[in-house]
Structure 1
Amino acid sequence: MTFTQSAARLPSPPSRLTRLLDLARRVPFGPMVSATTWAVIVGTGLVVASVVAGVAWRPGLIAMQALLPLLGAAVLVAASVAVARRRPIAGSVGCLVAAGAAALVLPVATAASKPPWVEEADRLTIYSANLRRSNGRVAEALEMARRSDADVVVLIEFVEEFDKPLEASGLLDVYPTVVRDRREDGNVLLTRLPSSDTEVVRHAGFELPAARVDVGGRAVFVAGVHTQAPHSRAYVDRWQEHLGGVARAVDGHANVVAIGDFNGSLWNPPMRELAAWGFTDAHDATGSGLARTWGASLPGHEPVVSLIGIDHAMSRGPDIVPISIRDARVPGSDHRSIEVTYAVR
């Protein structure tokens, strides 16, 4: 008798997709989601508390305060996830933190009411741009400033290498009054309006080019601002001193505008102190407080996404009201420009 024995078939190895799915089933996603949810809730809660308490002593905290709108959106998602997963404690705490963030963020997205005299008042337009000291496209950036047709132009991080492009831009033909501080990366203020008291203010802890311009017979003191960036703990105190110095720089003038790169957001305590001292932020007053004007980028490149709003126009006085503001990309810079129009009576 003859026996036929078939060869035993070996099982085929699992596919890559099968192995990945098997690995995924072993990952403890539940605990990971819970940990991430709590991290977002607690982290955002601490940032909200620091804003309310007026605390800003570390660069990381200052940056997180500037990112509060994004953190508010993140904590809302985290609270929703907690509710969907039937985690009542995390959901409740997350909703409270989200409400706190909203209370700080939403008001700046609502325009303030304007007095009735605004419609018939004279107009003052100011353009400000941080050129970036390493800008390889500064000629284009200066042409953009010229096309703004503003009454006053403020240029931040203006280095000596930009002198010839400035002369070639035609700006000096349009704006005969020029005020410039001579720091390594100084600032320039140009105006075509009748002006007096053109000076570099030095008693504020840092230098601000300034001029008192005539707007329909009313004097407005305009100062260009570039504060120290709080990028390390060694510079945080100087940053706070500079922001406090903005008020000192314009003291003694009835109607003022401080405009430029404040290196601070509307949720950083020193900026909130300026508001408490009577300054009005043009973004805030016009309902544009969520505008983002700066993003990290490599030298020679523009940011893909602007992350935080640190360029501001701050005004104070009974006869000046911001009525509009817009921002735009500046060729070669990591900042966006701001152009604000004021009503002046």
Structure 2
Amino acid sequence: MKIISTAAVVRPVHVPKEQRKVVSVLLWLLVVPALVWLVLRVGGWERGLLVQLMAFTPYVALWSLVPTVLAVGFRRWPTAAVAFAIVLAFAVLVMPRARTSDQGPSQGVELHVMTSNMRIGGADPATIVRLVRENKVDVLALQEFSPSGRRGLEKNGLLELLPYSSLGDEPGASGSGIYSRFPLTGAGDRRYGGGFRQAYGTIQPLGAGPVLFESVHPRAPVTLPENRLWQADLAEEPQPEADGPPRVLLGDFNATLDHRSMRKLVDAGYRDAGDATGTGLVTTWPYMEHRGVPKVTIDHVLVDRRIGVRQMSAHRIPNTDHRALIAVITVPAA
């Protein structure tokens, strides 16, 4: 295979001597913001408005190619070297999510799990039930789960597929629920500091040991006070316990893998299903409103490292701004 260098592809631009200094300054004005963003991302120093902005890191990584190409075109080699180093650093941070990595154990009992934010219960229940049926979903986690959403799902036959449940439905965006094909023990829900409820329960599939599931929905970091609640909610999410059953957290985390709080939770003993299967850059929000806002990946399936991940896919559901996630996981055999 013939390799063509960037310098050969980008035609040099000849600039009069008196304009070279201006060009150099303009190029650095393009490079420095990307460098600052990179430093903040690596250091995990997002604060205030930066919490929301950090979700767009994959887009900044792509944009960082622009000053690199321009610097090569204008033969500003020091600038090009710095810009290229920034591109490489962003690639190291972002690109692993686009390829399969450590998917964990392949032996065990296969389960199909799904999570969906119902947008204050308004998501189309028929579509959710159809996805459960067609994908043979064993456990369904719901966020923004309202009494009307519950009635709609059950009217469309959800209980025929997933007859067991742990439900914390309530009006507004704070409700949560879990439906299961298998009996649930220790079922309940807890209200986190941000005000949202998270339903949980333990199942024991045929041939497997017990597995603890929780429907996750921390507060969204929309304002400065809510930033603190969001961070506290993520810090309070349950962590795997070596002497306890394996855990699965799935839901709307209101965070991407570019947020330090999210990475800290994953590093506590989980693997992100999207990251493991090469679908970590598949976006999940927003898909209704917020026109012009770049789509980001804030819904996740996190599995205890004792659990393997085989597949993950995203699915559009009418009347909700989140895409649902369906993952195929392998839990330890009994």
Q: Which residue of 1 aligns with 2:254?
A: 263
Paired AA for residue 210 in structure 1: Y
User: Post-superposition shift, 1:209?
Assistant: 0.5
2-structure distance, mates of 1:53, 1:167: 46
Contact 2:121/2:148 (<8 A) preserved: no
Q: Which residue of 2 aligns with 1:63?
A: 52
- Tell me the secondary structure at the aligned position of residue 238 of structure 2: helix
Paired AA for residue 102 in structure 1: A
Q: Which residue of 1 aligns with 2:267?
A: 276
1-structure distance, mates of 2:241, 2:198: 10
User: Structure 1: which 5+ residue stretches go unaligned?
Assistant: 1-28
2-structure distance, mates of 1:247, 1:33: 52
2-structure distance, mates of 1:201, 1:97: 43
2-structure distance, mates of 1:168, 1:339: 22
- Tell me the secondary structure at the aligned position of residue 322 of structure 1: strand
Q: Which residue of 1 aligns with 2:38?
A: 48
Does 2:253 correspond to 1:253?
no
- Tell me the secondary structure at the aligned position of residue 218 of structure 1: coil
Paired AA for residue 92 in structure 2: A
Bigger drift between 173-182 and 306-315 goes to 173-182
* Deviation sequence 1:133-160 (CA, Å, 0-9, x none): 2737444344434443200011211122
Which of 65, 72, 93 is equivalent to 2:82? 93
Alignment TM-score, normalising by the size of structure 2: 0.83
Contact 2:287/2:320 (<8 A) preserved: no
Computing the radius of gyration over CA atoms, which structure comes out larger, 1 or 2? Answer: 1
Paired AA for residue 98 in structure 1: V
Paired AA for residue 57 in structure 2: L
Which of 156, 161, 164 is equivalent to 1:177? 164
Q: 1:90 to 1:148 in 2, by over 3 A?
A: same
Q: 1:243 to 1:39 in 2, by over 3 A?
A: farther
* Deviation sequence 1:198-227 (CA, Å, 0-9, x none): 111347865311111113231110100111
Q: Which residue of 1 aligns with 2:315?
A: 328
Does 2:177 correspond to 1:196?
no
* Deviation sequence 1:70-89 (CA, Å, 0-9, x none): 11111112211111012234
- Tell me the secondary structure at the aligned position of residue 70 of structure 1: helix
Q: Which residue of 1 aligns with 2:295?
A: 307
Which of 197, 209, 222 is equivalent to 1:207? 197
1-structure distance, mates of 2:31, 2:237: 35
User: Post-superposition shift, 1:307?
Assistant: 1.2
- Tell me the secondary structure at the aligned position of residue 258 of structure 2: coil
Which of 208, 213, 217 is equivalent to 1:217? 208
Q: Which residue of 1 aligns with 2:219?
A: 228
2-structure distance, mates of 1:251, 1:54: 28
- Tell me the secondary structure at the aligned position of residue 204 of structure 2: strand
* Deviation sequence 1:147-194 (CA, Å, 0-9, x none): 432000112111222233122110012212111124432111100113
Q: Which residue of 1 aligns with 2:3?
A: none
2-structure distance, mates of 1:203, 1:134: 20
Bigger drift between 194-203 and 208-217 goes to 194-203
User: Post-superposition shift, 1:109?
Assistant: 2.1
Contact 1:262/1:312 (<8 A) preserved: yes
How many corresponding residue pairs?
A: 310
Alignment of 1:116-135 (within 5 A): 118=106, 120-133=107-120, 135=122
Contact 1:203/1:248 (<8 A) preserved: no
2-structure distance, mates of 1:82, 1:154: 48
Q: Please, what is the CA RMSD of the aligned residues?
A: 2.8
